[in-house]
Amino acid sequence: MAGEIWAIGEIVDGQPTRLSRELATLAASLAATAGRGARSVLVGAGAGDAAQALAAHGPDVLAVEADTADRPAATVIAGHVAALVREHQPSFLLVGASNDGRDVAGILQALLEWGTLVNAAGVAWQDGGPQAEMSVFGGRLSTLSHLASDHGIVIVRPSAVTAEEAAQPGRVERAEPSDVPELAAVRVVERIREASAAVSIEEAPVIVAGGRGVGGPDGFGVVEDLADALGGVVGATRAVVDAGWIGYAHQIGQTGKTVKPALYVAAGISGAIQHKVGMQLSGTIVAVNRDPDAPIAEFADLMVVGDLFEILPRVSAAVRARRGG
């Protein structure tokens, strides 16, 4: 039988990440179309427990207990997955486009000498292999690509699919691969938690983003309030991150995150190309800007000319009134 499709998961705070759940659902649906087997793989401390949660999405889970206390998770995951691949000979690996996921994919690419499709916004099964949809050249084109071999890695962006529970949960199988390749040691000295890092703007259905027009760190108050009213999260431009008004985890654009929410509200944002590439595929774009000629007018759906400090609070109040009444 042709090789399996594997979803390589990640554990954060003892649970499989949302992206891992999406990959499990994706692996199951691709495998169903392809008539192949699917499996999830979880490596790390507490893999057994996290695997129970991941198994709800259908594919059986290979769980490898491994110590990640003082080593970066990616090196531990990649080494064990490489050993499991040699043992089980799957054909395709789906890896998440998170920081750790990209590291895992890069290490596996070199260890396995497999081709890699990067940054897939969607994956279909086509002509005997995965076909990835990717936005390229600043969003000017959307490409469909495939692997020119019967093996490979696909790096999948958040929200390419919606995670779904399967009617029949998978089984959890403990694995202890042998001959795990030894990767050069990196030691974790300290892990620091920061509340601001925990925002997952890549997964949010609504983003209200603020730019230099908010005028200062306090100016984000009206942005946060509207995000709260709309049930969304706060995004930002690089200009305000560089200014220290808000954390880098909120930055959207070329050197920040790429997002695709149903609604993107841009407040006091000019719409520079480096910002545009990170948000132009949003479903609906509403801009609030004092300058009618700001570049964002060229790709917004609704361009509201005016002062964000006068307009945003009124929108928040109206949205809340609608919800309430």
Partner 1 sequence: MRIVVLLKAVPVVGNEKLVDGWRVDRSAGLEANGNDEYVLEAGLKLIEQHGGELVTLTMGPTPALEAIRKALAMGAARAVHVQDPALAGSDALATGRVLAAALSRMEYDLVFVGADTSDGQGGVVGAAIATRLGSPYLSYAARIEPDPSAGTVRVRRISATGYDVIEAPMPALVAGTQLLGEPRYPSLRGIMQARSKQIATWSLADLGIDASSVGSGASLTDVDSATPPPARAGATVVRDAPDVAAERIVEFLAARRLI
Ligand X SMILES: Cc1cc2nc3c(=O)[nH]c(=O)nc-3n(C[C@H](O)[C@H](O)[C@H](O)COP(=O)(O)OP(=O)(O)OC[C@H]3O[C@@H](n4cnc5c(N)ncnc54)[C@H](O)[C@@H]3O)c2cc1C
Site for partner 1 in 221-240 (CB under 8 A): 230, 238
294, interface contact from partner 1, ligand X, none, CB < 5-8 Å by kind: ligand X
Terminal Cα distance for the chain, rounded: 59
> What single-letter amino acid sits at 232?
G
Rounded CA gap, 80 and 239, in Å?
41
Distance CA 37, CA 3 (A): 7
Q: How far is the CB of 325 from partner 1 (least distance, A)?
A: 13
The binder of partner 1 chosen from 240, 263, 267, 279 (CB under 8 A):
263
- Classify strands 5-8 and 92-96 as parallel, antiparallel or unpaired: parallel
Nearest to 111 by CA among 206, 62, 181: 181
Give which of ligand X, partner 1, none residue 213 binds (C-beta under 5 to 8 Å, depending on kind): ligand X
212 binds, options ligand X, partner 1, none, Cβ within 5 to 8 A by partner type: ligand X
* Per-residue exposure over 267-286, b if at least 16 CB sit within 10 Å of its own CB, e if not: bbbbbbeebbbbbbbbeebb
Instruction: Tell me if 248 contacts partner 1 by CB under 8 A.
Output: yes
Cα 95 from chain centre: 11
Q: Quick one: 39 or 212, whose CB is closer to ligand X?
A: 212
Binding region for ligand X (CB under 6 A): 211-213, 237-240, 251-256, 268-270, 272, 274-275, 278, 288-291, 294, 307-309
- The amino acid sitting at 55 is A
Beta strands at 116-120 and 38-44: parallel, antiparallel or unpaired = unpaired
Residues in CB range of 317: below 8 A, 6 or more apart: none
For ligand X, give the closer residue by CB, 25 or 289. 289
Stretch of 20-28, 38-46, 207-215, 242-250 contacting partner 1, by CB under 8 A? 242-250
Residue closer to partner 1, measured from CB, 36 or 275: 275
Give the shortest CB-313-to-partner 1 separation in angstroms: 8
Among 3, 46, 115, 122, binds partner 1 (CB under 8 A): 115
Site for partner 1 (CB under 8 A): which residue of 86, 119, 122, 215? 119
Dist. CA 301–CA 9, nearest whole Å: 37
The single-letter code of the amino acid at 108 is L
> How many Cβ atoms are within 10 Å of 178's Cβ, its own excluded?
7
Name the token pair of 141. Answer: 């084109």
| Residue 73 C-beta: closest distance to partner 1, Å | 9
Q: Does 193 bind partner 1 (CB under 8 A)?
A: yes
Q: Which residue in the set 173, 176, 179, 307 belongs to the binding site for partner 1 (CB under 8 A)?
A: 307
Footprint (CB under 8 A) of partner 1, residues 93-112: 98-100, 102-107, 109-111
243 binds, among partner 1, ligand X, none (CB under 5 to 8 A by kind): none
Q: Which does 289 bind (CB under 5 to 8 A by kind): partner 1, ligand X, none?
A: ligand X
The answer to whether 152 touches 129, Cβ cutoff 8 Å, is yes
Query: SS3 of 291, please?
Result: coil
- Residue 166 in contact with partner 1, rule: CB under 8 A: no
Nearer to partner 1, 87 or 298 (CB): 298
Q: How far is the CB of 104 from ligand X (least distance, A)?
A: 24
Radius of gyration of the chain (CA): 21
As a whole number of angstroms, the distance between CA 186 and CA 111 comes to 18
Give 63's strand partners: 42, 174
Candidates 52-60, 161-169, 212-220, 283-291: pick the segment binding partner 1 (CB under 8 A): 283-291
Within 172-191, which residues bind partner 1 (CB under 8 A)?
A: 183-191
